[in-house]
Chain A
Amino acid sequence: MIIKAKLFISSLLFLFLSLPVWAVDDHPAGLLTVSGYVKDAESGEALIGATISIKELNTGTSANQYGFYSLSLKSAKYLLEFRYMGYQTIQKTIELSKNISLNIELVPEENKIEEVVIKADRPEANVKKAEMSISKLEMKTIKQVPALMGEVDVLKVIQMMPGVQSTSEGTSGFSVRGGGVDQNLILLDEATVYNASHMMGFFSVFNNDAVRDVKLYKGDIPANYGGRLSSVLDVRMKEGNNKKFAATGGIGLISSRLTLEGPIVNEKTSFLIAGRRTYADLFFPLMSDSSLKKSKLYFYDLNLKVNHQINERNRLFLSAYTGRDRFGQKGSSDAGFGNLTGTLRWNHQISNKIFSNLSAIIAKYDYSLKMKQGGSNYVWNSNMLDYTLKLDFNFFPNPQNEIKFGLSSTYHDFDPCDAYIEGERSHLGVPVAKNYALEHGLYISNEQKIGEKLTIKYGLRYTIFQNIGSATIYTFAKGYPNYTVVDTTYYASGKIFHTYMGLEPRFGMNYTFNEQSSIKASFSRTIQNMQLASNSSGGMPLDVWFPSSPNIKPQKANQYAIGYFKNFANNTIETSVETYYKQLYDIIDFKDNAQLLMNPRMEGDIRSGTAKAYGLELFVKKNDGRLNGWISYTLSKVERTIAEINNGNPYPASYDKPNNINVVLNYEFSRRVILSSNWVYATGAPVTFPVGSYVIDNTYGKYYSARNGYRMRDYHRLDLSLTIKGKEHPGKKWESEWVFSIYNAYARHNDWMINFVQDSKDVTKVVAERWYLPFVCFPGITYNFKF
């Protein structure tokens, strides 16, 4: 392993050191370069993933995450075609006799077709691109899906993709191909969002008006991403309109939002600022109930972005997010939690073939709770903080190869629990010690076209994870059911006392049969060093992250996937069949009755083992026409085996729902009136039910089945929404729409949890209680506007 690592690092160093050579020698072998940016003609926003085809060579490339593309070709005349979903295609003829810089602006399809624009076939990117196991969502699509209380939510739409399961009704937590909620890396402009939930997960932290692009990698995770086993959700904020001032907003039942964007220096510098806040609490003082009068319950988000084009080759971006939930009662309790992220990026075009990005990132999640009881103020604070420095390169040597490489380094600072009674701080001290770690990643990958039909991708990521002092590490004697502390080691501040290293190969291929069909396969190995101390079925505000350590090995996964992709009707109907098999090693779970909060010896409650997940995903999507939408079906299984849990027998993970169907359909009655619906079906979640009972000291006790030996009833729900847009007039700047929605339209009482409790009327009896969320036939209304 060490030899491989040295080889890998040496190769990367060679690449870095060679950069100046490439930068000077711009056209080896007589190749010339056409490069530039692909942007939205109205806002100047980069169009991530826009495709650029060379008609004569039947090859091409795609724009990177900043909209940059580069093609190195022999000197000749070429017809280039620029395409992006939802935009009019542009063809440009170029005479390549020297290096050319060519920036292209695409016009949204709903706008008037201009002379230079031709209406071409829809992009067939889903067939032609080598990447698979990806869900890319357009914001227009997300906004059409009916939502709880009319609050459109990226994460709720993600949960309707094949291979993605909601972990529990209403929550933002999701499971991807049998992975846990902790195994998803959620990024907002490259910064990790450790808890993407508002209000216990009923809403997510993403304000749709500020989001430009959403991409979920379910398996074929590129080598430039690392740190989680199962998925990467890459959310990119808008850059801000650099051509004109624009405002977007909405007024809903529980919240309102407003986004302002515009140029600071025309087409050079732009800004975006977006805010959202719920306001149910503003009405509490008007209530007659004295408890409600004193109640506090709200959340807010604030997104900010500024970008500045220094010159053709250099751009700076600054983006930030802060959001917070607050609830409690005035004078007695106050709780809050939230994320803070900040990213400063420098895009630098080293040459026409080499694009670089340097990012400095900060990510913080914290919660704080205060409650007055018995005359004392109980206080509990927790936070985690990351500082990351990241350098990425895209190298386009020729149309057949696109090489990416880079490195990143993150400093993790964990403060899992600082609990005390106010005024008695010296008594209580710090019950759970702080943790520190360094996480480094180096990667290189290439996407290579071999002939006209075959594209292969290969990459390697090398991860180094280091625990740093000061730290207290316990040594446990393993017993059953409990581990006992037999030794305690203290490490001094700044000392690296433990290191994990790992190689993560990634491979993918695409064989294109013709313009409409292809077969793809992929393999990825992923390693996860950040662990989540939660054994609940969904994320909760009190979740605490902690690092791999001498006691806890990194989790690892190997995923194999193969898929067939076929488009019909001029690419308006996309279909796919994917199947996957995933092996997971050193996954963590928690012993029975584990204590995860305020437990300095929590590592002694962790048990590790293996898991396997496999499944089949069917997907049909109709992109155009009055009736559009998608249907997905997932058949899957995920099973864990951990020696000291469930007597060592395999048990289904709590998010194992073998059958999952999602139907999203939109019907456009006219340009102004759209009816949208979604129907969700999933096999009932596994649960552990009692199979025996007893009474000790007047209290009912339960004896349980094997872990997750039962299932809840199957889950299904229909949501509807009707969008009515305002009338359009030539020259009218104000655009508006009303959205009326109904969540759970046929009022099903889906099982949220089932509890067994002593009958309040007859304490000698026990009754089974179904708990369900009150969102039955729940209406929502939102007024959206932009100008």
Chain B
Amino acid sequence: MKNIKTQIIILSVFILSVIAVSCTENIDDIRLDSTRPRLVVEGYISTDTTRQMVRLSKMGDALKKNPIEVVSNALITISDGTITFGLTEDQTIKGTYYTAPDVFGVVGRNYTLNIKNVDVNNDQVMEEYTAQSLLKGLNPIDSIHVVYNTSNNFDKGWSVNLYTMDPGQGRNFYLIKVLKNNRLLTDSIFKYSIGDNNSFEGKYYDGFPVYDLREDRLDERLTHGDTITLELYGINEDYYSFISSYISDYNPKIPIFSGPSANIPSNIKPFDDAVGIFAAYSIKRKSVIYK
């Protein structure tokens, strides 16, 4: 978990110095080709007992000149090979499909998403899409601490420190989300914090800082009595690569630091006809009142 964080932090020293010396202007006349329609999938199954969700839409033009087109009337199932859950479309939020509210994923099982009855390319032939995701486990969070620090001017604030044992048995990947007074602060992918257990395999995270709350951001600023909740997700490598690439792609490309732009990896098949992610994961939570 430290490695990716260290990398991002240290790269930022260089990147900030370059951004500081560059100027920007909008380009109004850029001409971009369009590509054929593809299915966009966002689907999750977690260890929480809840309505598991899948969202479907169509890929739009590069500059999002037109509103997102959702995909309705799909037939969707999630199966662990033994039990199959059906999903039904929400009648108020079209393109969003839910299981029944009592569904939960089980650690160690490999889940398969199946999507039928969609015609994304409008050729009057119905298509089928599938994806698989292994649900990896986590150890409980022993505790979290919120610590104020004043390391420098632009990130003065609080770090949320984690106490837990890595499950070991190979590479493990983590996603961290944070809530303040039950309001999700990490409400977009680019705000996620991710990491792996490189050098920590089977070891204890003894107060390891996993998320930073900045004092200069109103929604992150803490006052005494605030409740901070840390959600620790045990994710698999596919989802980790997806988030990591998504964040990289979201950030500006700087010639001397960036390789060629590339599509964000997806686990939805057929690979050439769909983008997005189907992720199975486990969740552990811990809250603390800031004093």
The answer, among B13, B32, B209, for a CB contact under 8 Å with A689, is B32
B197 CB, min distance to chain A CBs, angstroms = 12
User: For residue B259, which residues in chain A have a CB less than 8 angstroms away from its CB?
Assistant: 535-536, 590, 594
Q: Find chain B residues with CB under 8 A from A773 CB.
A: 21-23
Please give, as numbers and ranges, the residues of chain B lying within 8 Å of A688 by CB-CB distance: 260-262
Contact of B245 with A by CB under 8 A: yes
User: Contacting A592 at CB < 8 Å: which of B199, B250, B258, B262?
Assistant: B262
* B68 and A701 contacting across the interface, CB-CB below 8 Å: no
**Across the interface, do A768 and B27 meet the contact criterion of CB distance under 8 Å?**
yes
Please provide the chain A residues from 569 to 625 with a CB less than 8 Å away from any CB of chain B in the complex.
Answer: 590, 592-595, 597-598, 600
**A376 at interface by CB-CB < 8 Å:** yes
Give the distance in Å from the alpha carbon of A186 to the alpha carbon of B36 in the complex: 46
Partner of B63, one of A290, A699, A708, A768: A768
Q: What residues on B are CB-neighbors of A498 within 8 Å?
A: none
Stretch from A252-260, A329-337, A392-400 at the B interface: A329-337
- In the bound complex, residues from chain B placing their C-beta under 8 Å from that of A777 are none
Complex CA gap A598/B222 in Å reads: 33
- Beyond A335-B13, A481-B265, A698-B187, whether A755 also contacts B159 by CB under 8 A is no
If the complex has contacts A290-B153, A374-B151, A421-B6, are A542 and B38 also in contact, measured as CB distance less than 8 A?
A: no
Are A700 and B250 within 8 A (Cβ)? yes
Judging by beta carbons under 8 Å apart, are B23 and A772 in contact?
A: yes
Given contacts A373-B155, A694-B276, A768-B27, contact A378 B61 (CB under 8 A): no
In whole Å, how far is B205's beta carbon from the nearest beta carbon of chain A? 10
A-side interface residues, number (CB < 8 Å): 90
Surface stretch bound by B, among A439-447, A465-473, A732-740, A759-767 = A759-767
Residue ID in chain B nearest A749 by CB atoms:
B25
Q: Bound complex: CA of A710 vs CA of B260, how far in Å?
A: 12
User: Hey, what's the 0/1 contact readout for B1-30 against A, CB within 8 Å counting as 1?
Assistant: 011111101111110011001111111001
Chain B residues within 8 Å of A772, by CB: 22-25
Chain A residues numbered 252-305 whose CB sits less than 8 Å from any CB in chain B: 290-291, 294, 297
- Whether the pair B24, A769 counts as a contact (CB closer than 8 A) is yes
For residue A496, CB closer than 8 A to chain B, the reply is no
Residue A705 interfacial (CB < 8 Å): yes
Q: Does A702 sit at the interface, judged by CB under 8 A?
A: yes
Scan residues 52-74 of chain B and give those whose CB is less than 8 A from a CB of chain A.
Answer: 57, 59-65, 67-68
Interface segment out of the listed A142-150, A154-162, A425-433: A425-433
Task: Assess whether B126 is interfacial by the CB under 8 Å rule.
Answer: no
List of A residues within 8 angstroms of B3 by Cβ: 419, 431, 598
Write out, one digit per residue, whether chain A residues 682-698 have a CB within 8 A of any chain B CB (1) or not (0): 00000111111111111
Given A375-B209, A752-B22, decide whether A704 and B14 contact each other with a Cβ distance below 8 A.
no
Given contacts A535-B260, A537-B255, A766-B64, contact A703 B22 (CB under 8 A): no
B198 contacts the other chain (Cβ, under 8 Å)? Answer: yes
Q: How far is the CA of A754 from the CA of B203 in the complex (A)?
A: 43
CB distance from A333 to the nearest CB of B (A): 5
A697-B188, A705-B33 given as contacts; is B256 within 8 A of A768 (CB)? no
Query: Residues of B contacting A376 with CB < 8 Å?
Result: 209
Verify A333–B256 contact, CB threshold 8 A: no
Q: Does A541 contact B (CB under 8 A)?
A: yes
Nearest A residue to B63, CB-CB: A766
Quote the shortest CB–CB distance from B275 to chain A (angstroms).
6
Residues of A within 8 A of B68 (CB): 694-695
Which of chain B's residues has its CB closest to A421's CB?
B2
CB distance from A81 to the nearest CB of B (A): 49
Q: Is B264 an interface residue (CB 8 A)?
A: yes
Known: A331-B152, A754-B27. A693 touches B199 (CB 8 A): no
Tell whether A593 pairs with B59 under 8 Å between CB atoms, given A535-B260, A699-B250: no
Q: Known: A332-B152, A421-B6, A692-B35. Contact between A703 and B255, CB under 8 A?
A: no
Q: Quick one: which of B11, B21, B63, B275 contacts A765, CB cutoff 8 A? A: B63
Q: Is A770 an interface residue (CB 8 A)?
A: yes
Q: How far is the CA of A597 from the CA of B24 in the complex (A)?
A: 28
Contact residues of B between 248 and 277, Cβ < 8 Å to A: 248-250, 252-265, 275-277
Closest to A419 in B: B6
B289 interfacial by beta-carbon distance below 8 Å:
no
Mark interface residues in A520-538 (1 if CB within 8 Å of B CB, else 0).
0000000000000001111
Answer whether residue B149 sits at the interface, using C-beta atoms and an 8 A cutoff.
yes
Interface residues as binary, A23-67 with B (CB distance below 8 Å gives 1, 0 otherwise)? 000000000000000000000000000000000000000000000
Q: Does A389 contact B (CB under 8 A)?
A: no
A692-B62, A754-B27, A768-B63 as given contacts; A654 in contact with B260, CB under 8 Å: yes
- Does A491 make an interface contact (CB < 8 A)? no
Partner of A373, one of B34, B63, B64, B151: B151
Given A542-B11, A701-B264, residue A693 in contact with residue B6 (CB < 8 A):
no
- Cβ of A335: which chain B residues have Cβ within 8 Å of it? 10, 13-14
Contact of A593 among B38, B65, B203, B245 (CB under 8 A): B245
Structural contact, B11 and A771, CB atoms closer than 8 A: no
B129 interfacial contact with A, CB 8 Å: no
**Which residue of A167, A696, A707 contacts B276 across the interface (Cβ within 8 Å)?**
A696
Q: Which residues of B contact A481 (CB under 8 A)?
A: 265
Shortest distance from the beta carbon of A620 to any chain B beta carbon, whole Å: 31
B255, A752: Cβ atoms under 8 Å?
Answer: yes
Contact B62–A689 (Cβ < 8 Å): yes
Q: Contact: B260 with A707, CB < 8 Å?
A: yes
For the complex, give the distance between the alpha carbons of A47 and B151 in Å.
Answer: 56
Are A371 and B13 neighbours in the complex by a CB distance under 8 Å?
A: yes
- The reply to whether A171 and B6 form a contact with Cβ atoms under 8 Å apart is no
8 additional A-B residue pairs with CB within 8 Å, beyond A692-B34, A694-B40, A766-B64: A327-B17, A331-B152, A335-B13, A541-B14, A692-B61, A696-B277, A707-B260, A770-B25
- Chain A residues with a Cβ under 8 A of chain B: 167-168, 171, 200-201, 290-291, 294, 297, 327-329, 331-333, 335, 369, 371-376, 378, 380, 419, 421, 427-429, 431, 481-482, 535-542, 590, 592-595, 597-598, 600, 654, 687-705, 707-708, 710, 749, 752-757, 764-774
B interface list, Cβ under 8 A from A: 2-7, 9-14, 17-18, 21-27, 30, 32-35, 38, 40, 42, 57, 59-65, 67-68, 147, 149, 151-155, 159, 187-190, 198-200, 203, 209, 212, 241, 244-246, 248-250, 252-265, 275-277
Task: Show 10 residue pairs from A and B whose CB-CB distance is below 8 angstroms, ordered by the A residue.
Answer: A373-B155, A374-B209, A375-B159, A419-B3, A427-B200, A538-B255, A540-B14, A597-B7, A704-B263, A769-B25
State the 9 A-B residue pairs at the shortest beta-carbon distance, nearest first. A332-B152, A592-B262, A535-B259, A374-B159, A374-B209, A699-B189, A690-B62, A375-B149, A698-B188
